[in-house]
Amino acid sequence: QSALTQPASVSGSPGQSITISCTGTSSDVGSYNLVSWYQQHPGKAPKLMIYEVSKRPSGVSNRFSGSKSGNTASLTISGLQAEDEADYYCCSYAGSSTSNVFGGGTKLTVL
Amino acid sequence: QVQLVESGGGLVKPGGSLRLSCAASGFTFSDYYMSWIRQAPGKGLEWVSYISSSGSTIYYADSVKGRFTISRDNAKNSLYLQMNSLRAEDTAVYYCARDPGSGSYPQYYFDYWGQGTLVTVSS
């Protein structure tokens, strides 16, 4: 099972909005509304930011939102803040024989 | 509060074995699916294995199938990963993570993660 495709890096200025894409196939992202997104700061464990494409866990800022169209999922962060600078990973269910597949990760730089 | 604490990592030679443990607290461990996820140094996340709440259903990534065995002891609130025939490419931080689905229905995402334990495979 190939990893999902994410841009290696994105950047934005404080207060701006950015979107990170996550492209899969009809066997994973396109078939299931089971896309999740994780934030990881250096040396730390990943943190769940979005699940089931667009749902936010309790405690996650509403500046984070998720969506999906076809085989591509997206994470949008609005009102960028310095603390948003981190690596972001998407993840999708890919069927019972494969279970989960992650994207390669995107490094977000807040300028 | 939910806590997951991994242990058992270390330096091992190629072809060697290692057993990782994950001690869970702050929730009813026996109700939840659990997973191991790894991250090679400077690389992205890779899902490794899933186990159902009862231990009756197990999945593995192709990269570890036949070499790694996931298990759990619900009486001890613990998750395990037995790793055999280790290769250099298995070098990574190994995280245990909880799937919020309970009973027989996983949700296929991970709401709590441990801090990870580093496994280094090198001669």
Provide the pairing of β-strand B10-12 with B117-121: parallel
DSSP state of A91: E
Is the per-residue pLDDT at A1 higher than 70? no
Closest alpha carbon to A37 in A104, A89, A93, A110? A89
CB count within 10 Å of CB B23 equals 16
In the predicted model, what is the mean pLDDT of residues B93-117? 92
Q: What is the pLDDT of residue B19?
A: 98
Asked whether the beta carbons of residue A51 and residue B111 sit closer than 8 angstroms, the reply is yes
Is the per-residue pLDDT at A13 higher than 80? yes
Q: What is the pLDDT of residue A99?
A: 85
Instruction: Please name the member of A3, A44, A98 whose beta carbon is closest to the beta carbon of B44.
Output: A3
pLDDT (tens digit per residue) in B6-49? 999 999 999 999 999 999 999 999 999 999 999 999 999 999 99
The shortest C-alpha distance from A80 to chain B (Å) reads 23
Q: Alpha helices of chain B — where are they, by DSSP H?
A: none
Q: What is the pLDDT of residue A2?
A: 67
Contacts of B33 (CB under 8 A, 6+ apart): B50, B51, B52, B53, B98, B99, B101, B106
Structure tokens that stand for B71 in this block: 């298990």
* SS3 readout for A18-37: EEEEEECCCCCCCCCCCEEE
How many interface pairs between A and B have CB atoms less than 8 angstroms apart?
62
Instruction: Please name the member of A44, A102, A104 whose beta carbon is closest to the beta carbon of B47.
Output: A102
Instruction: Please name the member of B45, B59, B114 whose beta carbon is closest to the beta carbon of A102.
Output: B45
Q: What is the pLDDT of residue A98?
A: 77
Rounded Cα distance between A95 and A28, Å, is: 7
Say how many CA atoms lie within 13 Å of A44 toward its Cβ. Answer: 12
Rounded Cα distance between A106 and B45, Å, is: 11
Asked whether the beta carbons of residue A34 and residue B109 sit closer than 8 angstroms, the reply is yes
Q: Chain A partners of B92 at a C-beta cutoff of 8 Å? A: none
Task: Give the number of residues written for chain A.
Answer: 111
